[in-house]
Amino acid sequence: MTNDSKLDTVLQFHRLVENRDFARAAQLAHPSLNAVVSGNRLSFAEWRGMGEMFMAAFPDGKHVWDLATAAGDYVILNGHFTGTHRGEFMGIAATGKPVTFSVTVIDRVADGKLVEHRADMDSATLARQLV
């Protein structure tokens, strides 16, 4: 698998999540996907649940990648997430406010599947935008 095809796989995975097509996204991930989000280790099921909750809260949410590159088994993405708070998010009722916060992702692809997902997001900036 080439670096370009690994990058395409990861970008497609994130587009499917943004479109809330979690069933098709799951087909691009290995069932034992190792996810670490902002320091929290998650099983694939936990990560998927978090993604479903997040996209329900920000249904127009999307990632804008300023950097998207692949090297070896790794794909590195850096940019920001933008969306409108239209649903409950971690106990906060919908505010209708737009949000934008930075995101950095390092994904590892093996045998055509996403096997490792590491993401750091600026949750402090997100929280400040919801009050």
Percent of the chain with pLDDT over 90: 93
d(Cα 42, Cα 37) in Å, to the nearest integer?
7
Q: Indicate the pTM of the whole model.
A: 0.91
d(Cα 46, Cα 10) in Å, to the nearest integer?
19
The letter for the amino acid at 40 is N
d(Cα 39, Cα 33) in Å, to the nearest integer?
16
The letter for the amino acid at 92 is I
- Tell me: pLDDT of 120 over 90: yes
Using one digit for the tens of pLDDT, what is the confidence trace for 32-87?
A: 998 999 999 999 899 999 999 999 999 999 999 999 999 999 999 999 999 999 99
- Tell me: pLDDT of 1 over 90: no
Q: How confident is the model at residue 24 (pLDDT cuts 50, 70, 90)?
A: very high
Q: Which CATH number fits domain 3-130: 3.50.50.60, 1.10.150.300, 3.30.70.100, 3.10.450.50?
A: 3.10.450.50
pLDDT at 63: 96
Q: Domain segments of the chain: what residues?
A: 3-130
Are β-strands 113-121 and 29-37 bridged in parallel, bridged antiparallel, or unpaired? parallel
